[in-house]
Amino acid sequence: MEKRCYLFGSDQLPDGLQPLGRDQLQEIGSWPGEVPLLFKILCSVDTRLCPSVLFHPCQDQALLADFAQGLAELKRFLQKIRHPQLQSDIRQTLELLQQPDWQYRYLVLETSEIFSHGAKTKVWQNMQLCQQLRQLAGEMTLTLQQLQLPQSWHNQVKKPGLLARLLGVPARPWQPDQQQLIRSLGFSGWTTHKAGGPNKLDAATPSQPDLAGSGQLC
């Protein structure tokens, strides 16, 4: 099964003592293998470690953030994107995240599936991600710059040197493919059903958790 990160909205603060019920969580989105930039920006304000809402009990294996302030930060970022291919995605994203039933107090970013096995390792990786989310300005600026460049510039290749030519190393692009960059932002990761639908966590069923050294399921 493909391992994913999951993003939830909630008005309840996860305490790790009792799992949050289906009526206390709304799935906002999910993404395979990593945390996409749009999820990062949304979770970049007042970010801190919190217990997992998928695996119990697993302390500090998820991230908690302020939904309203994170959404404001995401809106500022999206308003700077001028790429014509993304304008429809931007409108749909803002409509979805601003729907009245989705105005939760908190965001919970679940990373248990995509991080390495072992409770201590997962907590350390979560701490690293938490630090990264507090310092996103550089990544956001670079992404905006790359989106503003024409596709023809992305297609330019760096000519290999003499040794590389002798070894048959092919030329490579100066910059990552722009379409790949667009796909990796995370626009297609939002949950499309409206809030209040049945079985809010059905689309976010995690894979079988590993047995941590402490005996907890994490």
The DSSP string of 8-72 is: EEESSPP-SSSPPPGGG-EEEEEEESS--HHHHHHT-SS-EEE--SSSTT-TT-EEEEEHHHHHH
- At 15-51, the pLDDT tens digits run 755 667 667 888 999 999 999 999 999 999 999 998 8
pLDDT at 160: 59
d(CA 94, CA 27): 16
d(CA 107, CA 48): 11
Enter the pTM of the model: 0.77
pLDDT at 108: 94
3-state helix, strand, coil in the chain (%, to 5): 40, 15, 45
pLDDT at 213: 32
Measured in whole angstroms, the distance separating CA 174 from the mean position of its chain's CA atoms is: 26
Q: Choose among 12, 83, 86, 77: nearest CA to 44.
A: 77
C-beta neighbour count of 56 within 10 angstroms:
17
Assign 120 to helix, strand or coil. Answer: helix
pLDDT at 47: 95
Q: For the chain, list residues with pLDDT below 50.
A: 152-157, 173-174, 193-200, 203-218
pLDDT at 153: 42
- Residue 17 backbone dihedrals phi, psi, to 5 degrees: -90, -45
pLDDT at 107: 95
Measured in whole angstroms, the distance separating CA 83 from the mean position of its chain's CA atoms is: 21
